Structure 1
Amino acid sequence: MSEEKARVRDILRKRKDAMVPEDRLKKSLAITRHLMKNIRPGETVMVFTSKEKEVNTKSLILALFEKKNPVVVPIIVKEDVSLRLSYLRDFAALVPSTFGVPEPIGSEIPADAKDIDTIILPMLGFDRAGGRIGYGAGYYDRFLSKNPDLKKIGVAFACQEMASLPVDENDIRMDYIITEDGIVYPGKRGSDGAQRYRNT
């Protein structure tokens, strides 16, 4: 399984790296438009802060600010492979940190996972069964296993789709997957939304 995941990740990285910056930004803005249609007024949203070649979340964060939705961002804790949470109220508070990920280091406003309604997750790849493959460190999988009731929305570019992903018992299915083309996987909320893959 690990060898197959490594092979798939290599394919997906090459696809993502092949995108030109202008195309990446244009598609990121389209993803933001689709996402905002699925965010309820007042709900607290946890959203990843994007690196250069990911779906750019700056426009999403600014749109959430404009709609007065509380925004929570993750801070990577390498020591125990976990995520520490902070409210974000000013985009300027983000500075490059662990793995080059923008984080509000020095401007943290502690947040609790129980206050989050929806989480927006980065994905290296996805399939139309709600499958998500990340970068391999497992930060989000660990966080989701401890917080299974969050509405989970994975975002990626359409070129990151695979017909089927190699998944194991630690991989958690998304509730929704959104690309520049719109919602490509509208999963069921509730117990189905937190469903893990089972080896068969």
Structure 2
Amino acid sequence: MAKTKQEIRTEVKQRRLALTPQERKEKSRCICAALLSLLDGTGPVMVYVAKPPEVDTELLITTLLARGTRVIVPVIERKTTTLRLSYLEDPSVLVESTFCVPEPVGCEIPARPDEIGIAIIPLLAFDRQGNRLGYGAGYYDRFLAAHPRVKTIGIAFACQEMPELPGEPTDIRMDRILTESGLIPVLENKDHEH
């Protein structure tokens, strides 16, 4: 019998927690280095601000800013269960907010979805069809469904890969997926055009 989304979430969270902080740091560094070469000249870049034990995006954000690339971060809107966007010019303004996610509370610089050159999306689990599983609240699925032209790169540790994920029509597939092992070729059968 196929696993439920909840069973997959539990299994993948355990796998991710089995990585030592040092392993997470090393693997995050590999992923960020690969992203920086992929994103060269692309901007603005929407990047999620990580909380442990996710792939750490701090190095990515600081390097993009140092390069002069504009960075957009998502801000969680609990009331409407959607994402609001803010430019981030100084990571020191980030404070732990909704779901313990660092956000630019009180220092938001509004950004529009159509300004995004590419979006870096957190994955809890993924498969080679480009399917992603998040934490279950649907914030990214709703945001990406409303803005189908946004190009996406999902990032995760290789241990978060599943052979197949149960998909729903509302689930949005990633254009590309990147782990510390490199880019995963996503099988081309996406529903929406880019």
Task: Name the TM-score, length of structure 2 as normaliser.
Answer: 0.94
Q: Percent identity?
A: 46
CA distance in 2, matches of 1:123, 1:40: 22
Query: Which amino acid letter does the alignment assign opposite residue 141 of structure 1?
Result: D
Distance 1:23 1:193, change over 3 A: farther
The answer to whether the Cα contact below 8 Å between 2:42 and 2:117 also exists between their aligned partners in 1 is no
By how many angstroms is 1:106 displaced?
1.1
Q: Identify if the C-alpha distance between structure 1 residues 63 and 186 changes in structure 2 by more than 3 Å, giving closer, same or farther.
A: farther
Contact 1:64 1:70 in 2 (8 A): yes
Q: Counterpart of 2:34 in 1: which secondary structure?
A: helix
Q: Supply the distance in 1 between the matched residues of 2:37 and 2:151 (Cα, whole angstroms).
A: 14
- Do the aligned partners of residues 11 and 98 (structure 1) sit closer, same or farther apart at CA in structure 2, a change above 3 Å counting? same
Change in 2 beyond 3 A, CA 1:16/1:106: same
Residues 135-165 of structure 1 deviation map (CA, whole Å, 9 limit, x = unaligned): 0000000000011011110000000000111
Cα distance between partner residues in 1 of 2:71 and 2:23: 26
CA RMSD of aligned residues (A): 1.7
Structure-2 residue corresponding to 1:105: 105
Name the CA distance, whole Å, in 2 between partners of 1:154 and 1:42.
Answer: 16
Deviation at 1:193, TM superposition (A): 7.3
CA distance in 2, matches of 1:192, 1:167: 12
- Residue 66 of structure 1 corresponds to 66
Runs of 4+ more than 6 Å apart: none
The number of residues matched between the two structures is 192
Query: Residue 192 of structure 2 corresponds to which residue in structure 1?
Result: 194
1:131 corresponds in structure 2 to 131
Residue 12 (1) aligns with residue 12 (2): yes
Q: Which residue of 2 aligns with 1:84?
A: 84
- Could you list the runs of 5+ residues in structure 2 that have no partner in the other structure? none
Distance 1:18 1:168, change over 3 A: same
Query: SS where residue 52 of structure 1 aligns?
Result: coil
CA contact (8 A) 1:81 1:139 kept: yes
